Amino acid sequence: PNRVLLGCFVLHYAHRALIFPLLIRAGKPTPFFTFVLALLFCVFNGYLQGRSLTAYAAYPPGWLGDSRFITGFLGWLIGMAINIHSDHILRNLRKPGETGYKIPRGGMFEYVSGANFFGEILEWFGFALACCTIESFAFALCSLFILGSRARQHHK
């Protein structure tokens, strides 16, 4: 179970760090202070999740068949799919050279204005349920507060 859960975490960040940047078009630059804060959070959280899953979290035999793991894993998987699909919709909002604000349509944007944020929050709460560790729950709460705040700003 530890390897599967660690694999989920690594898969998300491999996509976010390697694939996502290759897909996005030039946009607004990220302020340096925001970049530093995000980097520090990701380094600290990566260490915390990795250390928890490699050294401390012990799962009983059959954990991969436990309803908490299955429900959490499905939440993680659905959340990641929503996040990736929502990012795709956002990347394709404007034609090259076009500027200005556009309201995204399709996918989960039909139900929530910050579908990309919703997907990632769902992903990390699913991960927390699948892990059942205090570290993963703390990460899910941080994601909720940080991404929820961003979603509210974007909605306004």
Q: What is the DSSP secondary-structure string of 81-141?
A: HHHHHHHHHHHTSS-TT--S-----SGGGGT-TTHHHHHHHHHHHHHHHHH--HHHHHHHH
pTM of the model: 0.91
* 67's tokens: 């309803």
Least confident of 52-61, 99-108, 124-133: 99-108
Q: Dihedral through CA 90, CA 96, CA 97, CA 102, nearest 10?
A: -30
Q: What is the residue whose two structure tokens read 């992903």?
A: 123
Supply the pLDDT for residue 21: 80
Alpha-carbon span 20 to 95, nearest angstrom: 19
pLDDT of amino acid 101: 79
**Residue 76: is its pLDDT beyond 80?**
yes
Cβ-based neighbour number of residue 140 at 10 Å: 20
Q: How far apart are CA 41 and CA 54, in angstroms?
A: 20
Which secondary structure element, helix H or strand E, spans residue 155, and what is its range?
A: helix 134-155
If pLDDT is split at 50, 70 and 90, which confidence band does 94 have?
confident
pLDDT tens track for 20-54: 888 877 667 788 998 899 899 999 999 999 999 99
Please give the pLDDT value at position 100.
Answer: 76
Confidence of residue 99 (pLDDT cuts 50, 70, 90): confident
Provide long-range contacts, Cβ within 8 A and 24+ apart, for 16-23.
20/87, 23/87, 23/91
SS3 category, 55: helix
Average pLDDT, the chain: 93
- Contact (Cβ atoms closer than 8 angstroms) between residue 77 and residue 22: no
Q: Give the integer Cα–Cα distance in Å for 84 and 78.
A: 10
Whole-number pLDDT of residue 102: 84
